Amino acid sequence: MTKLDQTNKRDNFTGLFGVIAAAAGSAIGLGNIWRFPYVLGDNGGGAFLLLYLGFIITICVPVMLSELLIGRKAQLSIFGAFRKLAPGSLWWIIGLMGVAASFMILSFYAVVAGWTLEYAFFALKNHFAGMTPAELKHTFDYLTGSTWRPVVFMLIFMFITAIIVQSGIKKGIERYTKILMPLLLVIILVLCVRSLTLDGASAGLEFLFKPDFSAITTNTVMMALGQAFFSLSLGMGVMATYGSYIKKRESLGKTAVFVTITDVFIAILAGIAIFPAVFAFGLQPGQESLEGPGLVFMILPGIFNQMAGGYFFSVLFFFLLVIAALTSSISLMEVVVAYFVEELKIKRVKATWIAAASMSFLSALSAVDGRIFNFFENTSSNILLPLGGLLIVIFVGWFLGKKIVREELEADGRVAFYFRLFVPAIRFLAPIAIAMVFLNALGIIRF
């Protein structure tokens, strides 16, 4: 936030495209390109994709719209927003949960971003040239298994994030995401074409798109919901912050729909880039040798090896992936910094470095111990984010008042459309669906 924000005159994005680019910058990141393929691979493929899409439509779009609406109405980030919209109540606890989630997420996110950074440098040195899948796996295990390397690269990444956050997140975000995100999209498309034209690629498409319902377990359902929240940066107030920068005349509905479609599109493209190659290399997703967070790091360099211009594309790809991770990590760190600044009255620069130092400490733990990494990853995405989302839709659906909701959705002149769909979705559909996933995970109901 800039000085203007602190005096409460919010300095808005230049237009809807700027807001969408920034919100999409937070949403699109390692979640789409690193996490989506591996979680899908470990959870049975097509059936997971179907659940994921179902959750996005029924739960995530309503949650995103609710967050944007809270932020724009209050013109404040999530903490101040609840204080203003529901004074004297306990709703601000959602903001506190968001702070906890952002600590946890950044603690493993920065580790993966550090691996990406390291891969970018190795790509620059043409280190992966000619490596077999087994050698690529060995390289991944070696790099991430070292005690100091992941910590050093994580620290570099955290440092860059903090530098951007300390001087206010918006100026940079708007300028760079507009150019770099489309560039990343182009490279992913190129990767898709190469992967699809490898011999034996069709088995990968079948794995991705042909649902095998017998693969669905309680865990799959929870992972699909958690991945949907994680990928769209929902449930912790990030979208509320961006909502507070959207001008009154811009459409929140369009923003939510556009960000969601772009995010899902990129995740599916990442799947199309990865799985045909997995099968073409004679491997099987979800197998012990190919499960977990290493998937894209073991497969992508192999595809670049098979490409004309592979060296050029691989260097560009890994650097752009670092940037995609950065536009997400700054939104994560911003949640904590906003809390320190607004609630604890700490100055912005100091708040940023306190946040960065404490997050780096947690992150170092995740970097050296896979169990801590997994704990942070699962607790934040599968529990904290959906729980935050549940409380947010309940707040907007049942406590905020229809008049305010209508007013915010009216801004684009198409009130009937969004409003009619939105109210039943946030009052009933989304909360019931999230609650059912939780009850199922706890073993209280079975489906």
- Point out which residues bind ligand PFF (CB under 6 A): 26-27, 29-32, 105, 230-231, 233, 236, 238, 328, 331-332
- Return all residues near 201 (Cβ < 8 A) that are at least 6 apart: 195, 276, 277, 279, 280
The CB-of-169 to ligand PFF minimum distance in angstroms stands at: 12
- Contact assessment for residue 227 and residue 39, using Cβ atoms and an 8 Å cutoff: yes
Separation of alpha carbons 302 and 17, rounded Å: 35
The CB-of-125 to ligand PFF minimum distance in angstroms stands at: 26
Residue with Cβ nearer ligand PFF (131 or 187) = 187
Separation of alpha carbons 140 and 180, rounded Å: 26
Residue with Cβ nearer ligand PFF (139 or 329) = 329
Q: How many CA atoms lie within 13 A of 92 on its CB side?
A: 17
45 DSSP assignment: T
Residue with Cβ nearer ligand PFF (23 or 221) = 23
Residue showing tokens 């001087």: 167
Separation of alpha carbons 233 and 334, rounded Å: 13
Residue with Cβ nearer ligand PFF (144 or 233) = 233
The CB-of-270 to ligand PFF minimum distance in angstroms stands at: 11
- Contact assessment for residue 305 and residue 131, using Cβ atoms and an 8 Å cutoff: yes
Residue with Cβ nearer ligand PFF (264 or 364) = 264
Separation of alpha carbons 165 and 339, rounded Å: 13
Residue showing tokens 């691979």: 41
Q: How many CA atoms lie within 13 A of 189 on its CB side?
A: 7
The CB-of-305 to ligand PFF minimum distance in angstroms stands at: 26
- Return all residues near 273 (Cβ < 8 A) that are at least 6 apart: 188, 191, 192, 195, 300, 303
Classify residue 258 by burial, with Cβ atoms within 10 Å: 0-12, 13-18, 19+.
middle
Residue with Cβ nearer ligand PFF (266 or 272) = 266
DSSP codes joined into one string, 253-309: HHHHHHHHHHHHHHHHHHHHHHHHHHHHTT--TTSGGG-GGGHHHHHHHHHHHTSTT
Residue with Cβ nearer ligand PFF (112 or 409) = 112
The CB-of-167 to ligand PFF minimum distance in angstroms stands at: 19
The CB-of-32 to ligand PFF minimum distance in angstroms stands at: 5
Residue with Cβ nearer ligand PFF (35 or 72) = 35
Separation of alpha carbons 323 and 420, rounded Å: 38
The CB-of-403 to ligand PFF minimum distance in angstroms stands at: 29
Residue with Cβ nearer ligand PFF (53 or 215) = 53
The CB-of-275 to ligand PFF minimum distance in angstroms stands at: 19
Residue at 182: amino acid letter: P
The CB-of-112 to ligand PFF minimum distance in angstroms stands at: 9
Separation of alpha carbons 138 and 343, rounded Å: 47
Separation of alpha carbons 127 and 131, rounded Å: 9
- Contact assessment for residue 299 and residue 108, using Cβ atoms and an 8 Å cutoff: no
The CB-of-329 to ligand PFF minimum distance in angstroms stands at: 7
Residue with Cβ nearer ligand PFF (139 or 380) = 380
